[in-house]
């Protein structure tokens, strides 16, 4: 083996090892975008959505010597979508980190009209706001839904659906729990962020068929993707037995899509439960306080040096073409000599 060729092999191997050590690092996405470094062709990503806020509480209820509490519902957890993706040096990665849904107000009381529930978290598909409680007496307002998070590079997109907000508690009835963001990742070309639905409120007399008694607000839906977003929770009722509390908001859908070979999934996206939702308010808490908010989502990307550049077809050089032509001439000369000898 020619010494120059051996030296080139050793040099190439050394550079490859040095490159792997240099690129085995996290990519800073704090500004919302980052450029793929030179020599990087694969990254491990985790896209985590925001979770829903807890529902506000209502007062405890004593009937026949038995006291039952009226806490708000727990917010739905977010979703964490994980995958290894193929990228190209110099491409721009853009991310949106879904924010947490805010908690609903506890034992809301406002005789001039109801207040709104917890705000939905911002995101690539914002969470829906929680529904407000009725203007009469005490009831809990719904928590806001968590915002969806996303990562995009080239034609590739990943969206993690947000958790639904917890429903507000009614008198002696616990609010409905928010639904977690979807842990099934749908593969669709129409994958694009979309906002969750606002929770149904019961803010004023005569709204939603509840003209006299008070009622709790439903939780806001989690942000998701077009066609699959979290539904708003239903409003509670206290104008007839049995009392009902506010329903929890639905969880947002999760999706992913890779449009070409330059940006593809090395490992298929999978999803699991993300951060827990906010706790619902307690009946012992004072009027004017709020249930706990959910947790904000995150997006991380770490270089995977095991993913290398695709092989490039060799282009013959002038020297190669010359050798091929000489070989053809020699072959032709040999054939003529054989014919003459025959």
Per-residue pLDDT tens digits for 27-76: 999 999 999 999 999 999 999 999 999 999 988 888 888 888 899 999 99
Contact 59/171 with Cβ under 8 angstroms? Answer: yes
- Is the peptide bond between 303 and the residue preceding it cis, with omega within 30 degrees of 0? no
Q: Pairing state of beta strands 254-257 and 185-187?
A: parallel
Question: Count of alpha carbons within 13 Å of 101, Cβ hemisphere only?
Answer: 67
What is the pLDDT at residue 201?
Answer: 82
Output the pTM of the full model.
0.83
Query: What is the reported pLDDT for 67?
Result: 85
- Looking at the chain, which runs of residues are DSSP E strands? 33-35, 42-48, 58-63, 66-70, 79-86, 92-96, 149-153, 156-160, 185-187, 193-194, 224-225, 254-257, 265-273, 298-303
Mean pLDDT by 10 residues, the chain (342 residues): 44 44 77 96 97 92 86 97 97 98 80 72 97 75 97 97 96 94 96 96 54 78 96 86 91 96 96 97 79 97 93 65 63 53 56
Report strand pairing: 193-194 vs 185-187. unpaired
Selection from 159, 181, 194 nearest residue 299 by Cα: 159
C-alpha closest to that of 103 among 165, 196, 175, 173 = 165
pLDDT score at 139: 83
Cα 75 from Cα 73, distance rounded (Å): 6
């Amino acid at each position: 083996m020619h010494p120059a060729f051996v030296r080139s092999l050793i040099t190439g191997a050394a550079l490859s090892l040095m490159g792997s050590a240099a690129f085995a690092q996290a990519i800073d996405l704090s500004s919302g975008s980052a450029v793929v470094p030179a020599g990087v062709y694969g990254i491990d990503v985790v896209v985590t959505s925001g979770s829903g806020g807890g529902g506000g509480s209502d007062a405890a209820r004593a009937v026949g010597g038995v006291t039952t509490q009226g806490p708000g519902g727990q917010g739905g957890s977010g979703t964490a979508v994980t995958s290894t993706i193929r990228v190209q040096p110099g491409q721009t990665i853009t991310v949106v980190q879904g924010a947490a849904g805010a908690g609903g107000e506890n034992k809301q009381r406002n005789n001039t009209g109801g207040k709104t529930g917890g705000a939905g978290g911002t995101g690539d598909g914002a969470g829906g706001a929680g529904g407000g409680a009725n203007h009469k007496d005490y009831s809990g307002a719904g928590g806001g839904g968590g915002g969806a998070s996303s990562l995009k590079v080239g034609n590739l997109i990943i969206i993690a659906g947000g958790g639904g907000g917890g429903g507000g508690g009614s008198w002696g009835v616990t609010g409905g729990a928010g639904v977690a963001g979807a842990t099934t990742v749908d593969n669709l070309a129409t994958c694009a962020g979309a906002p969750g639905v606002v929770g149904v409120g019961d803010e004023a007399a005569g709204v939603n068929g509840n003209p006299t008694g008070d009622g709790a607000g439903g939780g806001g839906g989690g942000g998701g993707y077009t066609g699959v977003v979290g539904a708003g929770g239903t409003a509670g009722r206290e104008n007839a037995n049995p009392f009902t509390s506010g329903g929890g908001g639905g969880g947002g859908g999760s999706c992913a899509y890779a449009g070409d070979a330059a940006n593809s999934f090395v490992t298929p996206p999978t999803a699991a439960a993300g951060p827990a939702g906010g706790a619902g308010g307690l009946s012992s808490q004072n009027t004017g306080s709020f249930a706990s908010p959910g947790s904000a989502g995150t997006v991380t990307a770490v270089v995977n040096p095991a993913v290398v550049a695709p092989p490039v077809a060799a282009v013959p050089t002038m020297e190669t073409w010359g050798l091929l032509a000489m070989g053809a001439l020699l072959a032709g000369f040999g054939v003529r000599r054989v014919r003459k000898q025959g």
